[in-house]
């Protein structure tokens, strides 16, 4: 373990010069880095060697690290591997004056003494690369949303700001073993959250529109446990989903703040906070006309979502409209915190227990006789006659 401070791997002294990842043994000898107990090899060119030593550094995710990189608790522990090839050592004098040796390898792990942190939180990563990726200080295509604040007064800067029953995300914890933590969820309100140390979902599930979906398909390594946060709150029952007049559904008082606190047996603690500003309820696989879907939401005591509630996509062609801010650069979402429900959570169909389908959802935004629609895969905006049939997702407030 290194002492406190900002260090690069060049600050960690090895037999290799600063910045180098390999060196020949003969170069080490020319630098005077050798010795012989009985004095063989003294003098100019008194000793020569063949073979080399190489250095490789990888972070906890298996990514290669440069020696000039600053150590980061969110990437620790680091694995440092020193490899030597086979070779020979020859001196000018001595009997015998040459010997051979075999290659070998030594592995070291380096971590940092620091307060444990939640480095990032991972919802569905599908449609999170290339044009769909948000700013690099907010979104990582491989990690999800980066923690924006550890200060309770600004937890509202963190993901998520929107939610629905059954949605989930995983915590990337730095500086502490997540498996040793016991979790407490501090909140005041009707919405809830649970944190479990569990394996990612495997196998398949059937979506409400009868598609076979690979569970947690955005997670490549399912052999490792994750700290999974699942949201709980009002959702339409099966009878309400199938009814044209479902009756009122509990409506949360928002915003509602959550603080997740993980503690181990030694008293070490890690915290993550977020503030939900909107809660969404869907109607499963029920595809109906706009007026019917709007009435269904109203019967619940909710309202049909607007374009800006769902996406930050910008439609610039025929019948243009812009979604939430910060805006995307085109007619698809770009992953950003607070810029729409689909924008935050990604491809909605992939959440096994949330009840969403892959298709267009009506919005209350209109242009002439047409209503705008938002697709639940990557937040694409379209429009259609109100007499057509599409899905419904309601929101409060």
Residue 285's pLDDT band, with cuts at 50, 70 and 90, is: very high
**Are the C-beta atoms of residues 55 and 22 closer than 8 Å to each other?**
yes
Whole-angstrom CA distances from 270 to 49, 156, 250, 304, 329 are 51, 18, 32, 38, 36
For residue 386 the two structure tokens come to: 């109100």
Residues forming beta bridges with residue 227, ordered by sequence position = 171, 197
**Are the C-beta atoms of residues 54 and 83 closer than 8 Å to each other?**
yes
Nearest-angstrom CA–CA distance, 211 and 321:
31
Gyration radius from the chain CA atoms = 28
**Are the C-beta atoms of residues 231 and 208 closer than 8 Å to each other?**
no
Residues forming beta bridges with residue 212, ordered by sequence position = 206
**pLDDT value at residue 391:** 99
**pLDDT value at residue 14:** 84
**pLDDT value at residue 43:** 60
Residue-wise pLDDT tens digits, 317-358: 989 999 999 999 999 999 999 999 999 999 999 999 999 999
Q: Which of 7-21, 143-157, 368-382 has the lowest mean pLDDT?
A: 7-21
- Check the CA dihedral 125-129-135-140 and report its sign: positive
pTM: 0.86
Residue 201 in this model has a pLDDT that exceeds 90: yes
Residue 6 in this model has a pLDDT that exceeds 90: no
Nearest-angstrom CA–CA distance, 150 and 143:
18
Whole-angstrom CA distances from 64 to 20, 72, 80 are 14, 13, 10
- Pick from 147, 125, 10: nearest CA to 71: 10
Residue-wise pLDDT tens digits, 72-130: 899 989 999 999 999 888 887 777 888 898 999 999 999 887 789 999 999 999 999 99
Residue 39's pLDDT band, with cuts at 50, 70 and 90, is: low
Q: Which residue reads 């805006």 in tokens?
A: 327
**pLDDT value at residue 58:** 96
- Domain borders along the chain are 9-110, 117-396
For residue 164 the two structure tokens come to: 């629905």
Q: Helix (H, G, I), strand (E, B), or coil: what is residue 374?
A: strand
Q: What is the DSSP letter of 64?
A: B
**Are the C-beta atoms of residues 381 and 365 closer than 8 Å to each other?**
no
**Are the C-beta atoms of residues 136 and 334 closer than 8 Å to each other?**
no
Give one word for 238, left, alpha or beta, with left for phi > 0 and alpha for psi -120 to 50: alpha
**pLDDT value at residue 216:** 98
For residue 309 the two structure tokens come to: 């509630």
Residues 6+ apart with CB under 8 A from 195: 171, 183, 185, 227, 228, 229, 260, 262
**Are the C-beta atoms of residues 300 and 249 closer than 8 Å to each other?**
yes
**pLDDT value at residue 371:** 98
**pLDDT value at residue 21:** 92
Residue 44 in this model has a pLDDT that exceeds 70: no
């Amino acid at each position: 373990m290194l002492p406190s401070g900002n260090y690069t791997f060049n600050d960690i002294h090895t037999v290799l010069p600063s910045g180098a990842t390999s060196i020949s043994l003969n170069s080490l000898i020319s630098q005077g880095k050798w010795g012989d107990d009985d004095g063989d090899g003294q003098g100019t060119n008194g000793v020569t060697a063949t073979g080399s030593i190489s250095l490789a550094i990888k972070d906890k995710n298996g990514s290669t690290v440069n020696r000039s990189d600053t150590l980061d608790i969110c990437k620790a522990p680091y694995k440092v591997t020193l490899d030597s090839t086979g070779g020979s050592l020859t001196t000018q004098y001595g009997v015998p004056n040459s010997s051979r040796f075999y290659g070998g390898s030594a592995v070291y792990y380096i971590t940092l003494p620091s307060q444990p942190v939640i480095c990032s939180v991972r919802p569905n990563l599908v449609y999170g690369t290339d044009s769909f990726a948000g700013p690099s200080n907010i979104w990582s295509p491989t990690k999800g949303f980066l923690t924006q604040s550890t200060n309770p007064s600004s937890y509202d800067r963190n993901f998520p700001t929107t939610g629905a029953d059954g949605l989930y995300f995983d915590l990337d914890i730095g500086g502490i073993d997540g498996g040793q933590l016991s979790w407490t969820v501090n909140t005041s309100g009707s919405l809830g959250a649970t944190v479990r140390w569990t394996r990612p979902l495997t196998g398949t599930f059937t979506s409400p529109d009868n598609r076979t979906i690979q569970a947690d398909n955005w997670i490549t390594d399912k052999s490792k446990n994750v700290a999974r946060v699942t949201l709980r709150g009002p959702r339409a029952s099966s009878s309400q989903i199938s009814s044209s007049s479902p009756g009122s559904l509990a409506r949360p008082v928002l915003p509602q703040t959550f603080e997740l606190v993980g503690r181990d047996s030694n008293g070490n603690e890690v915290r993550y906070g977020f503030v939900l500003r909107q809660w969404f309820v869907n109607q499963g696989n029920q595809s109906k006309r706009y007026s019917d879907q709007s009435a269904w939401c109203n019967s619940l005591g909710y309202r049909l979502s607007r374009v800006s509630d769902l996406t930050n996509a910008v439609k610039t062609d025929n019948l243009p409209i812009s979604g939430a801010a910060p805006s995307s650069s085109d007619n698809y979402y770009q992953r950003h915190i607070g810029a729409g429900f689909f924008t935050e959570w990604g491809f909605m169909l992939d959440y096994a227990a949330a009840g969403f389908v892959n298709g267009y959802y009506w919005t209350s935004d209109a242009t002439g006789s047409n209503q705008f629609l938002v697709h639940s895969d990557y937040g694409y905006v379209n429009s259609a006659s109100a007499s057509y049939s599409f899905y419904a997702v309601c929101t409060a407030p």
